[in-house]
Structure 1
């Protein structure tokens, strides 16, 4: 399955599953997947040049549009690449989501051809549906443990995104994304990564296994759940291992728009994660918003840009019950004009820049003397984030330069580890440091 969100300019990600596995599960939906879950282990991510792929396929349209499917033979390159007619081959490189660096495997794809839509029911989550009451109850329980200041920590995860609503001593109560850089952005990964689950075993933690709100399905917004993966030559697939601490908690995830609306659907690697989640709640497309004790979560309009995964998203306006007109906006990768705002429209006293500081336009205006802009971004990264246009647009909206998570210093002063985590709050008088001792070995403090 082709995806248009995995590379830079002429690069594209192929989210693949072996033909044998696809054939076995092609007619199933999520009510009947059961024992067939093992077929999701036969997936792999590859990076190719879009223009070359289109040339070989003789495509009449952009090959990634609508989540189109292709079939090919996968040949691993050992040593020097073999000589094959350039009109019939596409070079590819392996993409790893895991936290441990792996060798850069190279491949040649041959025999490429378009095929019909695959895994139709699974890709569009047929058989999975959450209810508003279930979503609201989950969010209310998590928010009950958060500090009244509504302190948020934008964690330093490199070129990815992970934000936590924390309690009074700094433990996450509710996550918005659990991101980590893909291997082509491996150089942006922090040398001292945070242990986002350190509070699970802490006696002072008020919330066990903080739930996860997934803004959208880009890999760099959920890959922290991956412990490690490498290429399996026997299966011609990835040996992906997921972290038990990640998949054993509740995840609230957005449903992709229906295929009849030109939706892209989910790829096999997304389905691999979803099949491993023990407690998954799918946000219905018809559910516009849920208001709870820590603000309002809204869904973008599923009828607008249905094949654009960045804009098929959940966004969170973090608020206090006592002050519903003040908020911090967590926008994921959404284009700001596409975000659905709650009514009455709140003033923003904090913002996590959309899409890691990309070339976004029309950012919302800043309000309040202590308002802060955080940019979850790694240095270096292949996209060149944050982009100058994005920085200028945010500055024009009053946000100033912003705090980038790649700006790392030691925390606490005696610690050997560095972090660039940013604190956002709705209470300027709230403490800016956290007291729980477990946060130090977990590198969960804030320096900005």
Structure 2
């Protein structure tokens, strides 16, 4: 239809006929021209919303259904279509509260999400035996390895009001750990190669709470606190002294010790760590902008992290989206992390997500409300895939695979002398070894 001045009758007849004949694009073209010319009423918005939804452009359809409800808030058909468009667009909170005007309100708990995960480390056993000495001097080697882990978590989603929602998660994680100290004992009376080993576990108990405030339908302000209780039983040791060979020749270089004197103690460690932050999200028709900032308090350091995410919805369709994120970290191991995410929903019951991260993730918090595991080893690469299957309206099965590449460091201590107060001077050199961690996880989402 040419963009000439339209009358109410022309618009009503044309859009009704297009609706009857399922000519959705023609209906949208006429509707948009009419709205631009100031012709706007309930049935025009309703038909336009239906046309956009038929074309799988639910984010656009939401706008027209919401406008239709402004003209007639009690129309059950418009409300049904609006709720459907919200669900298809992933706006479950708005959908849950869309029908409250009729006296019906959502359950206090609208979903429960149990989840399990198991990881594997392809180099854990082989790294236990790595011993690549930098030179022929008697050096003390220190090694601490992080092995495979498993976790279980349970999430509740609470609806409090049209403006407030709270997500909560409790989780348990257990990781295998390995310590090793090696050096040569070259005394005449008791020579030999000394190896001290300790295999132990680290357990992490966490609680996550995430209140979300919706000041308007397209805005979200989220606060969160994630607290961790980390319990482990490593061996505490320190190098107290060295025994030197008797009377080295005058002018000779620093002698290599014939023995290291260690102080060894066993104790159960309990550390409290937490991460807290805030995010501001705004939904637009073709994209969503999400700015986040948080503080992470570890056992011996504090880190500040801030990030920005743009999620793009081409053609305003929730079927496919891509999100790009950049994060900056201040504190120990400062740096940047880049994340790319692709989400595809070819069918209403099936969705797949691919993602990858690069950067310095030693203390990075990729917070999404699920279990967070922070490996102590530097991580530079992470990628994965998530799959969601919805065989029934209120039951979702999900699972995924995550691959990450980290490196562990083996420290070599070389005696270089003593200070005036008797403290040892140790020159350290580091050997880095890369390993891959693979995580498989799955769970269900049961909605009420």
User: What is the TM-score of this pair, normalised by structure 2?
Assistant: 0.30
Give the structure with the higher percent strand: 2
Which structure would you say has the larger Rg? 2
Higher RCO, 1 or 2 (CA under 8 Å, sep at least 6)?
1
